């Protein structure tokens, strides 16, 4: 028979969480989060943290932080998508993980396309690859986590 009300609420809640996180990613793709803007607070912080670092080192660290943000954003999106896709299932299935990665990668591509129209931003195939790597990494971690939980349950 159909899903219970609590089960349906949890499923809807899972999808809402994924959509809200995708909205955050979209917001982070606006002009305010471009390299020119984030450098105004990240570079001074890095300079405070590493006072003897050269400007080139600070710029490289700023870039690394920005690219790491892509990994983290899409790692989280991929986990939320997996959670929503799996529904009430407690195991890990490759098809759920693959679908989560494909949705995250497609969203990353559309987000980069969106940035074409944002002043001071631009599209980057490299960023889509970084986003996809974050999504894949998430599914590997989820697989390890589910596997570990199953071992403990035995």
pLDDT at 17: 96
pLDDT at 35: 64
Residue 43 CA to its chain's centroid (Å): 23
* pLDDT over 60 (residue 80): yes
pLDDT at 56: 93
Instruction: For residue 50, give the DSSP letter.
Output: S
**Is the overall model pTM greater than 0.85, yes or no?**
yes
* pLDDT over 90 (residue 15): yes
Return the structure tokens found at 9.
Answer: 């609420």
The dihedral region occupied by 120, where left means phi > 0, alpha psi between -120 and 50, and beta the remainder, is: left
Q: Are 123 and 116 in contact (CB under 8 A)?
A: yes
pLDDT in tens, 87-108: 777 788 999 999 999 999 999 9
Say which residue, 68 or 29, is predicted with more confidence. 68
How many domains in the chain? 1
| Residue indicated by tokens 């009430």 | 88
Residue 84 CA to its chain's centroid (Å): 15
Instruction: For residue 27, give the DSSP letter.
Output: H
Q: Are 143 and 92 in contact (CB under 8 A)?
A: yes
Indicate the pLDDT class of residue 1, thresholds 50, 70 and 90: very low
Say which residue, 38 or 19, is predicted with more confidence. 19
Give mean pLDDT, residues 26-40.
73
CB-based contacts of 39, cutoff 8 Å, min separation 6 = 62
* pLDDT over 80 (residue 14): yes
Mean of the per-residue pLDDT values of the chain: 89
Which of 127, 142, 126, 136 is closest to 70 using CA atoms?
127
- What's the domain range around 62? 5-153
């Amino acid at each position: 028979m159909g899903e219970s009300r609590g089960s349906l609420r949890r499923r809807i809640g899972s999808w809402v969480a994924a959509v809200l996180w995708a909205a955050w990613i979209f917001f982070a793709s606006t002009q305010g989060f471009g390299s020119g803007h984030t450098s105004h607070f990240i570079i001074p912080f890095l300079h405070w943290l590493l006072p003897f670092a050269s400007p080139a080192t600070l710029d490289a660290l700023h870039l690394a932080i920005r690219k790491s943000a892509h990994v983290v954003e899409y790692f989280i999106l991929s986990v939320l998508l997996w959670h929503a896709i799996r529904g009430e299932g407690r195991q890990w299935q490759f098809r759920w993980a693959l679908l989560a990665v494909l949705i995250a990668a497609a969203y990353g591509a559309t987000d980069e396309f969106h940035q074409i129209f944002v002043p001071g931003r631009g599209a980057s195939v490299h960023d889509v690859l970084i986003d996809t790597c974050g999504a894949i990494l998430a599914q590997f971690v989820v697989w390890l986590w589910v596997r570990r939980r199953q071992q403990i349950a035995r």
